Structure 1
Amino acid sequence: MKPPNWASSVNKIFRFLLCCLVVVSCQANADSTQVARIKTAQYIISDSATLPPPDAKWQPITLPHHAPKPTERELIGYWYKASFDVADAKQDEWVLFQQLVSGGEVYVNGALIGETPSANEKIQVRWYLPELWLIPPSALHPGSNEIEVRFAIREPFTSFGEIDIGPEKLQRATYDQLLFWEDTSADISTALCLIAGSIIIIVWIRRPKEKLYGLFGLCVLFWGIRTYLLREPIVSTDILLYWRCGYYFATAGFIVLISTFLLSFSETSKPIFTKILIAYWLAGTAAFLIFGFQARHFIETYWLTGLIPFNLYAVAHVLNYAARQRTHNALAMGLAIVFALGLSLHDLAVQEAWVSWPEIYLMHLGIPAFLLVMIGILLDRFLDSLALVENVNEQLERRVNLREQELKYTYEQVRKLERVNAATEERQRIMQDMHDGVGSQLFSTLLMAQSAQLSQPTLVGMLQECLDDMRLVIDSLSPDESDLLPVLGNFRFRMEARFRAIGLNLEWHHRNIPDALNMEPNVGLQVLRILQEALTNILKHAQAKNVVVELVSTPTSLRIRVADDGVGFEIKPQSNGRGVGNMRTRAQKIGAELTISSLTPGTEVSLSIAL
């Protein structure tokens, strides 16, 4: 799915807002003929609580008035007065100050009609909203009237705007519009920046490799903090220094971060540039914290202004990047940056009195536009990354399926080879076992028969042993039989017949034997041969009368004990004949423990096999 064209959407939103502003402006111009706008006035610097007399040092000015403080005193009082005409004194008139930054008391013909907190020894004030007051009919008289305003300031510049006087119906509409654009929109912008910045930083913490997310989140968060501090209307003088320091820190930090972000966005790596910016930012903030308000003029006039070239340098890289890439996102970013930069230059010019415009700040309108564009761009990047991940996952899934098929085929081939090898090894083992057992006994019997040294009973006995050995191999290696108990039963049946034929008593005892004793055929064969060797030795050499075979089973082992009451023999590990040696070798092959002890009378053979 193709990602949405956010740059086009942002462009449509800008055009819609511009149309709204044009409509509002036309409406205001249409109604302005019924509203008197005062553009000239007089002012005097005075701390007097009452209006100075007409012969005082009043100075004529043009509104808006925006001039540096003439003295170094911290708190200075001002009086402003202007004249206006009223045709009908019975009609309610409304006074609209487009912005009364320093607050103050408003009088008409000497009568107080309203007041807003102004700076004093305990508080500092700075208002960013229009003021609207009703002039009571009792305070007016036909003809010329006078409006007076008194306030005190700490700011480096005096700011007093134009005054509109007219009917409430027209003034109320203008006031609501100004209130929204100068105050409500700023509150919305601040909340939006704080929330969006926090969310973006959380996303960046989860994905620290996305450097752009982190830089942009910090930019938005710093701007939200800066706007919040700037628009706090009343600040106690006890914390004024720290409040101002926080404002400078957030403002300069935003410029540093946005410059770094723009360079990163334009794929320009400038580590030295970033380090210089950070050092400049921290040094200026520390200087103000050390020297206090004595450094305020330097900080606002030179230090903050000195950040503009750095920012312009980053903006130039973005514009160059947009010109080279010619993508919607790059162009939208360039336009948003130019728009925000223009508003920031306007605010700086108003703050430093470079122009005689009303002290109205607009930068908070640029940041939401920039934020909207950036969210769209980052969302596009996220969707592109998501599409890339999906594509990679599809390719990976195809490769995994292919590898699975290859592994499955390889596994089948390995299993076939294992089966072939297992069958080959089993055949070799059976052949070796037949050769070493039955073959060897038959060959020995044949040689002795050819030399005529065997009597008939001896020959029959040897052939019987060969037959027993062959049956033992066949029983133990049956492919359908892995249980040792049936094989033991056949073996017991054959051995009991032989013992009974020569008059020996053979008894079998068992304890805790389960229903089945599953063993590998090779292990079962070795157990039977050890048991066969032990019983055969008793038949040949023990001269016993009674023989006991005992089987004891535990959850982890099987123990077989063969005991007789014969003459016994002397046990010598290295010279007990081939029979005992074969028994030990077979036990070692299957990891079993074989114990042989000879008593007077009798012999005992014990075999322990782990299950």
Structure 2
Amino acid sequence: MTDLGVDGASAPAGAARADASRSWRPWRMRLAWVLAVLALLSVGLGLLARSSLPVNDAADRHFDHAWLHSRPFATNQMRIDGRPRPQVEAPEPSDTAAWRSVALPLVESRRPDLPAQAQPRPLRVWWYRVDYVVPPGVEGALALYVPRITGGAVQVIQYEQDHWRLAWDGSDRWREQWNRPVFVDLGAAPPAGSTLHLAIGLVRYDTGQHRMSRIDVGPRETLAARDSWRRALQLTAPEVGSLTFLALGLFALVYWLRRRRGQAYLLFFFSSVVWTLRSLHYFIDMPADKVAYTWFWWATNASLSWVMILIYLFAFRFDARRYPRVERALIVFVVAMSLLTMPFEWSPLSSLVQQHLVNAVVAFMVTTWLTIVAWRGGRIEFRVIVVTLWLSELLGAHDLLLIAGRVSIESVYLLPFATILVLLSFLFAVQVRYAAAIDQAERVNVGLEARLAVREAELRANHERLRLIEREQALLLERQRLMRDMHDGLGSTLMSTLVLAEQGNLEQGAVAALLRECVDDLRLVIDSLEPIEHDLVTLLASLRHRLGRRLEAAGLRMQWEVDDLPPLHWLNPPDALQVLRIVQEVLTNVLKHAAARTVRIATRLAGDGQVQVLVEDDGCGFDVALVEQGRGLRHLVQRAARLGGRLSIDSVAGRGTRVTLDLPLQRETRA
């Protein structure tokens, strides 16, 4: 990996550790997935084995043989839901000629002497009798339990006092009987050694087929636990799996609505909806209306093709390549299957075994092709989904064999449990993508942090260079200002004094006065450089210190009336020099022209956000109108304007002069 570190070796070491951690993640995820699948298969096989084994109870009798008697229905029999209800009429147990022994479980097909489409279709009832001898020590209630009876309406009868008594009537639930066990409470157990004669009646058309599993008779508590377990596997588990699948599908839909590019999530949502439709016949009551029942049964079985195709389309989205022709072919197939399996007489695929056999063949072909694609370079989540498809194929093949009678009727339909595998594969795929996104974000963050560190170092270096440049520029500007001030003030005065002295036009006293002005001007420049923290009062105090003795020597008394003022943040050295020059010029004019005895310097805070500096004398005064255009006063006004302030002069002949300098409290700082 490219070294993105900046300071030392800590960044490369951290990046190496991150790479090592990421390199182990795929193997950990693969191992976790394999272990989860193995654990799921082990638990599933254990549960199914437990559901098929007999109850380990000495009082329970597991009948694998029964006595069979079949007879046609009488024409005057009572009907329920449009179908005949079997009468409680069976031969007496002692009539050995009427009963024949059969092995359980068994599949009883149509009579060979009847055509498959015989009209009218005759009705028959099959009675399966078992004789239970109550073992010693049995107390409490007894029950009869049959894991599965399919193909017709069911009744349970018991022989008491030389006649058959109806113990349980399930003929009105014939539509749901295909996947629901029979559990009948037989009441209190008779004395030990007594024989219970029980018979299970099943009525159907002679042209049809029914199946009967083995029969258990024994203590009610023992058989109730087994019945509860069977119902949990055959009814509750498909319901919970479908609702969980649907809930996760709704979550995928919400995610897709926020991110429309993820088509896999939308396909997963449709798969969950169609699978819920497919599983309805596992746990809800069928419609009582014959037409509604026929179309409902068609919809729940035909939807299996839609579920299969949607899951395949979902799997395609986890491969980097696209197969539009295959997807279109699958869509054409599912539409054709929906049309060819409709419950019409002309439908070529009306048999349930035929429908699921065609689905199994297509599923095998597509899954085999996906396996080849995944083997040649599919991503880990795509390969896991392919493994899940194969496991689902095995579960579906088991159910197809169960429907075709090639697997024991006591087995549980396993295809509903495929939802667990699909959910796990979906969660695994989402987890892989989430982990990949996190890893990518971490790599991006590492790169960004490294680049940010480089940029910060560059910025610090640039800032340091800029600070040095600014410092040098500030020194250069200050040097240029000092040179300009000294050239314009001190330099010009010295030059004019030198010229006059060389020409002999100045006396010694005049030369001394000019030199004294030069010294004062030099001191002003120096005072403007002193740190005064933007304090105007401190600045004026330095001027008082410089000029105080000179004013006293000239016989001028100074009155100092300065109030505390807020700091002027704009008062930098150049502006401070301008303030000092204005006040110095005013005081010089007082010395030269006012003939005053007292000069007053005061400061105050005006009400309009201004700071005022007042210089007032009691001299002879002058007429402002006559000297307003003079050069000296005009320079003072210009200096005040450069400070953002204003200079005003009030004077009356014989009454002295007042000069007011208004300065702003706030002002934009000048570059």
TM-score bracket relative to the smaller structure? 0.7 to 0.9
Which residue does 1:80 correspond to in 2? 125
Which residue does 2:624 correspond to in 1? 569
Asked if 1:335 corresponds to 2:379, the answer is: no
Change (3 A) 1:96 1:228: same
Change (3 A) 1:532 1:235: farther
- Aligned pairs for 1:274-289 (under 5 A) are none
Deviation of 1:473 (Å): 0.7
Which residue does 2:166 correspond to in 1? 112
Report if aligned partners of 1:95, 1:132 keep a CA contact under 8 Å in 2: yes
Matches of 2:124 and 2:627 in 1, distance apart?
A: 130
Which residue does 2:559 correspond to in 1? 507
- Aligned pairs for 1:186-225 (under 5 A) are 186-197=238-249, 212=264, 215-216=267-268, 219-220=271-272, 223-224=275-276
Deviation of 1:52 (Å): 9.6
Which residue does 2:181 correspond to in 1? 130
Instruction: Find the residue that maps to 2:322 and give its secondary structure.
Output: coil
Matches of 2:131 and 2:432 in 1, distance apart?
A: 59
Which residue does 1:59 correspond to in 2? none
Report if aligned partners of 1:126, 1:234 keep a CA contact under 8 Å in 2: no
- Aligned pairs for 1:124-203 (under 5 A) are 128-134=179-185, 147-149=200-202, 160-168=210-218, 175=227, 178-197=230-249
Which residue does 2:65 correspond to in 1? 36
Matches of 2:662 and 2:416 in 1, distance apart?
A: 94
Which residue does 2:35 correspond to in 1? 9
Asked if 1:587 corresponds to 2:640, the answer is: yes
Q: Which structure's relative contact order is higher, taking Cα pairs within 8 Å and 6+ residues apart?
A: 1
Deviation of 1:337 (Å): 0.7
- Aligned pairs for 1:259-338 (under 5 A) are 259-269=312-322, 315=367, 318-325=370-377, 329-338=381-390
Matches of 1:557 and 1:405 in 2, distance apart?
A: 46
Q: 2:87 aligns with which of 51, 55, 60?
A: 51
Asked if 1:524 corresponds to 2:576, the answer is: yes
Q: Which amino acid aligns with 2:38?
A: K
Q: Which amino acid aligns with 1:463?
A: L
Matches of 1:295 and 1:606 in 2, distance apart?
A: 114
Deviation of 1:534 (Å): 2.8
Deviation of 1:77 (Å): 12
Asked if 1:375 corresponds to 2:427, the answer is: yes
Matches of 2:119 and 2:638 in 1, distance apart?
A: 112
Deviation of 1:543 (Å): 5.7
Which residue does 2:139 correspond to in 1? none
Matches of 1:225 and 1:48 in 2, distance apart?
A: 30
Asked if 1:426 corresponds to 2:481, the answer is: no
Deviation of 1:331 (Å): 3.9
Which residue does 1:98 correspond to in 2? 148
- Aligned pairs for 1:392-411 (under 5 A) are 392-411=444-463
Change (3 A) 1:106 1:488: same
Change (3 A) 1:501 1:173: closer
- Aligned pairs for 1:470-489 (under 5 A) are 470-478=522-530, 483-489=535-541
- Aligned pairs for 1:486-497 (under 5 A) are 486-497=538-549
Moved more, 185-194 or 522-531: 185-194
Matches of 2:243 and 2:55 in 1, distance apart?
A: 32
Deviation of 1:483 (Å): 4.2
Instruction: Find the residue that maps to 1:63 and give its secondary structure.
Output: strand
Which residue does 1:463 correspond to in 2? 515
Asked if 1:258 corresponds to 2:304, the answer is: no
Q: 2:107 aligns with which of 33, 48, 63?
A: 63
Matches of 1:300 and 1:563 in 2, distance apart?
A: 121
Which residue does 1:20 correspond to in 2? 46
Deviation of 1:163 (Å): 4.4
Q: Which amino acid aligns with 1:35?
A: D
Matches of 1:511 and 1:414 in 2, distance apart?
A: 41
Instruction: Find the residue that maps to 1:560 and give its secondary structure.
Output: strand
Report if aligned partners of 2:151, 2:210 keep a CA contact under 8 Å in 1: yes
Matches of 1:449 and 1:43 in 2, distance apart?
A: 157
- Aligned pairs for 1:347-362 (under 5 A) are 361-362=413-414
Report if aligned partners of 1:526, 1:586 keep a CA contact under 8 Å in 2: yes
Matches of 2:176 and 2:48 in 1, distance apart?
A: 33
Report if aligned partners of 1:102, 1:125 keep a CA contact under 8 Å in 2: no
Matches of 1:518 and 1:375 in 2, distance apart?
A: 67
Report if aligned partners of 1:66, 1:356 keep a CA contact under 8 Å in 2: no
Matches of 1:482 and 1:506 in 2, distance apart?
A: 24
Matches of 1:278 and 1:537 in 2, distance apart?
A: 107
Report if aligned partners of 1:97, 1:131 keep a CA contact under 8 Å in 2: yes
Deviation of 1:439 (Å): 1.0
Change (3 A) 1:268 1:239: farther
Q: Which amino acid aligns with 1:404?
A: E
CA RMSD of aligned residues (A): 5.5
Instruction: Find the residue that maps to 1:118 and give its secondary structure.
Output: helix
Aligned residues: 586
Report if aligned partners of 2:235, 2:282 keep a CA contact under 8 Å in 1: no
Report if aligned partners of 1:64, 1:357 keep a CA contact under 8 Å in 2: no
Report if aligned partners of 2:614, 2:661 keep a CA contact under 8 Å in 1: yes
Moved more, 218-227 or 398-407: 218-227
Q: TM-score, normalised by structure 1?
A: 0.74
Deviation of 1:98 (Å): 0.5
Gaps of at least 5 residues in structure 1 are 55-61
Deviation of 1:179 (Å): 3.1
Q: Which amino acid aligns with 2:311?
A: I
Deviation of 1:471 (Å): 0.5
Instruction: Find the residue that maps to 2:87 and give its secondary structure.
Output: coil
Report if aligned partners of 2:152, 2:203 keep a CA contact under 8 Å in 1: no
Matches of 2:253 and 2:290 in 1, distance apart?
A: 33
Report if aligned partners of 2:561, 2:600 keep a CA contact under 8 Å in 1: yes
Q: Which amino acid aligns with 2:144?
A: W
Q: Which amino acid aligns with 2:87?
A: L
Change (3 A) 1:117 1:438: farther
Moved more, 230-239 or 527-536: 230-239
Instruction: Find the residue that maps to 2:625 and give its secondary structure.
Output: coil
Matches of 1:7 and 1:393 in 2, distance apart?
A: 29
Moved more, 454-463 or 305-314: 305-314
Gaps of at least 5 residues in structure 2 are 1-20, 91-105, 137-141, 667-671
Q: Which amino acid aligns with 2:445?
A: N
Matches of 2:640 and 2:663 in 1, distance apart?
A: 9
Matches of 1:18 and 1:360 in 2, distance apart?
A: 11
Deviation of 1:469 (Å): 0.9
Which residue does 2:663 correspond to in 1? 608
Change (3 A) 1:193 1:293: same
Matches of 2:204 and 2:393 in 1, distance apart?
A: 33
Q: Which amino acid aligns with 2:242?
A: T
Deviation of 1:219 (Å): 3.9
Change (3 A) 1:572 1:28: farther
Deviation of 1:419 (Å): 1.7
Deviation of 1:426 (Å): 1.5
Moved more, 372-381 or 275-284: 275-284
Report if aligned partners of 1:262, 1:314 keep a CA contact under 8 Å in 2: no
Which residue does 2:589 correspond to in 1? 537
Q: TM-score, normalised by structure 2?
A: 0.68
Which residue does 1:366 correspond to in 2? 418
Instruction: Find the residue that maps to 1:430 and give its secondary structure.
Output: helix
